[in-house]
Amino acid sequence: MVKVIHEAEFGQVKECAAAVIDFSATWCGPCKMLAPILEKISEEMNGKIEFFKADVDENPNLARQFAIQSIPALIFLKSGEEVGREIGFKPEAAVKSALQRLFG
Amino acid sequence: MNVGDAFKKIIIVRETASPWYTEEGVLIMSIYDFLLDRNSLEYQKSRARRGIPTGRTDCVKQNGRRNPMSRYDIAIIGTGPAGLEAALTAKARNKNILLIGSADLSAKVTKAHTIQNYLGLSNVSGREMQEAFLKQIESAGIKITDEQAKNIYAMGDYFVIQTGEIDSMVEAETLILATGLSQTKGLPGEDQFLGKGVSYCATCDAALFRGKKTAVIGYAPREENEADFLSELASEVLYFPQYAGEVRTAPTVKVIREKPVGILGDLSARTLETDGGEYEVDGIFILRDNIAPDKLVPGLELDAGHVKVTPQMETNIPGCFAAGDITGPPYQYIKAAGQGNVAALAAVNYLAAKRKE
């Protein structure tokens, strides 16, 4: 399951050994398309990798912290440290290969 | 709202969530689905009732009428020889098809002087070929949806095709790309700033530029509508027509007859450079007839600018096929048609194998 987070809850992400934050917005078409793909992958990962979702309009500071310029943006983190990012809509296979590459 | 007894409670959530049912009988669904279509509540309820736990966000619209249950077997993008032949073949195999592209057919066909090597049509002009094609399409009962695919999303076992605003989406199980030769190289900076201030679809991304200053580069008169649409949201719209002839835009749209030469910026696009000057803007819309295939379908693999295909016209994305000039040279009408035929049959086989599973 992809958990919706807000700025104040970012501590949760830091605690995860492997996490993905999906920066998105309500008006963004590609974000809307990416959402069910992430939902599906998160189910398959079954907690091995935690998935979060942050709305850039509601979380401007978090978006600035990660220098989000384009959405959807997937930020891959190990214990809160960014290890990679993917910008724009990606098909399932591409998201999975990024996860494999970054988290093994 | 009237809610059936079985549904004691409905929670509408802000995020783009699949509708689901809790054990307590609470239906949870996305506000977007609800706002896009009030009837979606009924639809989601029926989905949940039928035990479809992880549905998807449906937004299928045809001719302004929403039809959430329909998903085409095959969507064919492009109305040149490849797309038309694919449509004829798929239709003959009794598939539910959607053919998107110019209703006047490919300009490459209609503008041709004489075509000498198309079997069955000897020494025809482009116009004559267009007429012959249209006649055959019509007699096969195939309709052309006269729109342009702006974004296509590979969702796994289906595709979503966006032709304009966020709710103008249709779904198909398989996809045949036949959009022809993509434009030569983009503007300097175009790739770098795509999604960072550069967009290929005004109706899709207009909300991003509410109250901001934008430039629209239009390569065909129909893009004037996009500029007008944008002018309702943006503070300023500069329109750069890249074609001859009269421009009819809303009075608030400023028409500048200059040729763009590049895009500059830092983290996002800031400046449009033209042969006549520089324009500071927040967003730049580049509206061409032809969107590069890997931009149109994110994740699509190219080889030297052409879509990489197998002899069965399969791309690297399962269920996505390509045919015609988009796959590379030789750029011949008869080859394009032949590939369209192969792509359609491959799509038919793919569907059959999938349904056997």
Residue A4 forms contact with B (CB below 8 Å) = yes
CB contact under 8 A, A91 and B156: yes
Asked whether residue B67 is domain-assigned, the answer is no
Q: Which residue has the tokens 């937004």?
A: B59
Q: How many Å from the N-terminal Cα to the C-terminal Cα in chain B?
A: 41
DSSP codes of every residue in chain A: -EEE--GGGHHHHHT-SSEEEEEE-TT-HHHHHHHHHHHHHHHHHTTSSEEEEEETTT-HHHHHHTT--SSSEEEEEETTEEEEEEES---HHHHHHHHHHHH-
Do residues B297 and B281 both lie within one domain?
no
Q: To the nearest whole angstrom, how far is the Cα of B314 from the nearest Cα of chain A?
A: 16
- To the question of domain A2-103 being in CATH 3.40.30.10, the answer is yes
Do residues B194 and B281 both lie within one domain?
yes
Do residues B302 and B175 both lie within one domain?
yes
B80 φ, ψ (degrees, to nearest 5): -85, -170
Predicted confidence at residue A104, as pLDDT, reads 84
Structure tokens at B62: 């045809």
Number of separate domains in chain B: 3
Do residues B329 and B251 both lie within one domain?
no
pLDDT tens digits, one per residue of B254-298: 999 999 999 999 878 899 999 999 999 999 999 987 888 998 999
Report the residue from B204, B207, B299 with minimal CB separation from A94.
B299
What distance in Å separates the CA atoms of residue B133 and residue A70, rounded to the nearest whole number?
A: 42
Do residues B178 and B77 both lie within one domain?
yes
Do residues B155 and B212 both lie within one domain?
no
Asked whether residue B63 is domain-assigned, the answer is no
Q: Per CB distance under 8 Å, which residues of B are interface residues toward A?
A: 14-18, 32, 54, 56-57, 151, 153-156, 160, 162, 166, 195-196, 204-205, 207-208, 267-268, 298-299, 317
Do residues B101 and B121 both lie within one domain?
yes
Predicted confidence at residue B50, as pLDDT, reads 46
Do residues B228 and B262 both lie within one domain?
yes
CB-CB neighbors (< 8 A) of B267 in chain A: 67, 69
Domain residue extents for chain A: 2-103
| Boundary (domain end) residue, out of B287, B320, B337 | B287
Structure tokens at B89: 């073949």
CB contact under 8 A, A91 and B16: no
DSSP codes of every residue in B31-78: HHHHHH-TTHHHHHHHHHHTT--S------EETTEE-TT--EEEEEE-
pLDDT tens digits, one per residue of A32-91: 899 999 999 999 999 999 999 999 889 989 988 998 877 899 999 999 999 999 988 999
Predicted confidence at residue B201, as pLDDT, reads 83
What distance in Å separates the CA atoms of residue B148 and residue B152, rounded to the nearest whole number?
A: 11
What distance in Å separates the CA atoms of residue B236 and residue B34, rounded to the nearest whole number?
A: 32
CB-CB neighbors (< 8 A) of A69 in chain B: 196, 267-268
CB-CB neighbors (< 8 A) of B154 in chain A: 91-92
Q: Which of B12, B15, B18 to mutate to test the interface with A (most CBs of A within 10 A)?
A: B15
Q: Chain A, 16-75: which have a CB under 8 Å from a chain B CB?
A: 26-33, 35-37, 39-40, 43, 53, 55, 67, 69-70
Structure tokens at B313: 């016209």
What distance in Å separates the CA atoms of residue B111 and residue B294, rounded to the nearest whole number?
A: 27
Nearest Cα to Cα of residue A66 among A44, A88, A50, A81: A81
Report the residue from B32, B57, B207 with minimal CB separation from A36.
B57
What distance in Å separates the CA atoms of residue B208 and residue B211, rounded to the nearest whole number?
A: 9
Do residues B110 and B153 both lie within one domain?
yes
Q: What is the number of residues in chain B?
A: 357
Q: Give catalytic residues of A, as residue numbers.
A: 28, 31
Residue B34, CA distances (Å) to A3, A27, B16, B44, B106 in order: 21, 15, 11, 9, 39
Residue ranges in chain B assigned as alpha helix (H): 31-36, 40-49, 81-92, 107-110, 126-139, 190-193, 202-205, 223-231, 293-296, 333-356
Q: Which residue has the tokens 């085409």?
A: B72
As for the ipTM of the complex, it is 0.83
Asked whether residue B117 is domain-assigned, the answer is yes
Asked whether residue B1 is domain-assigned, the answer is no
Between residues B3 and A97, the one the model is more confident about: A97
Q: To the nearest whole angstrom, how far is the Cα of B130 from the nearest Cα of chain A?
A: 35
Residues of chain B scoring pLDDT < 70: 1-69, 165-167, 183-184
Report the residue from B14, B166, B298 with minimal CB separation from A91.
B298
| B181 DSSP 8-state letter | S
Q: Enter the pTM of the model.
A: 0.77
Do residues B199 and B54 both lie within one domain?
no
Asked whether residue B246 is domain-assigned, the answer is yes
Predicted confidence at residue B26, as pLDDT, reads 67
Domain that holds residue B104: 72-182+292-356
Do residues B81 and B23 both lie within one domain?
no
How many C-beta neighbours within 10 Å does residue B11 have?
9
Do residues B194 and B275 both lie within one domain?
yes
CB contact under 8 A, B15 and A53: yes
Residue B167, CA distances (Å) to A46, A57, B289, B341 in order: 32, 21, 21, 31
